Amino acid sequence: MQQGADTISPMAVLGFDVEAEELYRTLLRHSPTTVAALALAARRPREVVATEVRRFESVGLADLHGETVVAAAPDQALRRVIDDEGRRLRSVQEQLDALRRILPSLAAEHMVAGEPRGEAVGIEVVEHDRIVEVVQSLTARATGDLLWIRPDQWRIPEGQVIDAWVADLLRSGRRSRVIYPARALEEAPEAVRRRAQLGEHVRLLADVPGRLAVLGEAAVMREELAGGTGRVLVLRHPALVAMARALFEELWQRALAVPGLEGEGDQSSARQLLLERLARGVKDEQIARELGLSLRTVRRRVAEVLDELGATSRFQAGVEAVRRGWL
């Protein structure tokens, strides 16, 4: 079989060139034969043919018994070789795919090496049993407003201790601002009223993102936004504290003020939150989600507001609420 010098044999995947393929074809036509007879038929030196025959034997294409060479049935021998090579190539492909998957992380680590090295920002992790001590220490040294976002302070034991401490600060003339979720009026109305009566500026949001305190040059937040170990993070880096303060001020602008300091302040705020949503046509289910109340409570409150306003529909209640200056 005559082929050009640059022709690649289909058997190259097994490591054989065109001349080896020609020798194999000669073996198939003369099998069984001897090494010498095969060399004569192929017109190749005996030593070269003996070497190639041993290579054929190594991949299962032939059997060599002394000087006798027997070609294996090519359909079976090559199918087995093809299957083995296919498994090997699949394994190589899997390794290449794995290497391709880690390329981004390797590139990222290489980029890290070229990044400028900066100073580490200190964040203190405070265990649960030291939270009161830390808050007392920070508030005692802080200047300016004490800022609080309190989603559930009335539910935790240390919240009551901190409440008493802040009450003393308020009596001494310190200024404090706090944002509660609307459900506080349902779950802890006395706590809201008590802080307001002491002079704390109280506002309400439908919900708040988590517990936060900005106390002078430090910010304190829960380690995990939901649940967690109860540990808190104390941030003292100016940029982080400024971001915490900006978050509070943004929420403060959106929050609803508690208008009265005694008696009905918390109740009128709850009524206003409800009326605002009724005026926008918000459904009871959504109001319940936004205010953190049960659907039954929302429906009861709606009925009470309609009765109080002498209205027979939500639209009529909205008109009357505007006329009275409630909205």
* Right CATH for 267-323 from 3.40.50.1110, 1.10.10.10, 3.20.20.80, 3.30.479.30: 1.10.10.10
Handedness of CA 36, 38, 41, 42 (dihedral sign): negative
pLDDT band at 49 (very low <50, low <70, confident <90, very high): very high
- CATH 3.30.870.10 for domain 123-262, yes or no, is yes
Length of the chain: 327
Residue boundaries of the structural domains of the chain: 10-72, 123-262, 267-323
Paired residues of 65 in beta bridges:
68
Closest among 327, 173, 147 to 252, alpha carbons compared: 147
User: What three-state secondary structure class fits 148?
Assistant: strand
pLDDT of 293-318, one tens digit each? 778 888 888 888 888 888 888 878 87
Q: Where do we find the tokens 């095969």? A: 38
Cα–Cα distances (Å) from 302 to 185, 191, 247, 293, in that order, read 15, 24, 32, 12
pLDDT of 161-209, one tens digit each? 888 888 888 888 889 999 988 778 778 888 888 888 888 888 888 778 8
* pLDDT at residue 35 is higher than 80: yes
Mean pLDDT of the chain: 81
Give the pairing type, strands 212-215 and 62-65: unpaired
- What the block records as the tokens of 204 is 């309400």
Handedness of CA 277, 278, 281, 284 (dihedral sign): positive
pLDDT band at 4 (very low <50, low <70, confident <90, very high): very low
CATH fold of 10-72? Arc Repressor Mutant, subunit A (1.10.10)
Spell 54-86 as b/e; 16+ CB within 10 A means b: ebbeebebbeeeeeebebbeeeebbeebeeeee
pLDDT band at 29 (very low <50, low <70, confident <90, very high): very high
Its pTM stands at 0.50
User: Would you say the CATH fold of 267-323 matches that of 10-72?
Assistant: yes
Closest among 269, 281, 292 to 314, alpha carbons compared: 281
| Range among 18-27, 99-108, 252-261 with highest mean pLDDT value | 18-27
* Mean pLDDT of the 213-237 span: 81
pLDDT band at 215 (very low <50, low <70, confident <90, very high): very high
pLDDT band at 2 (very low <50, low <70, confident <90, very high): very low
pLDDT band at 275 (very low <50, low <70, confident <90, very high): confident
Backbone angles phi, psi at 192, to 5 degrees: -65, -45
- 163: amino acid identity, one letter: D
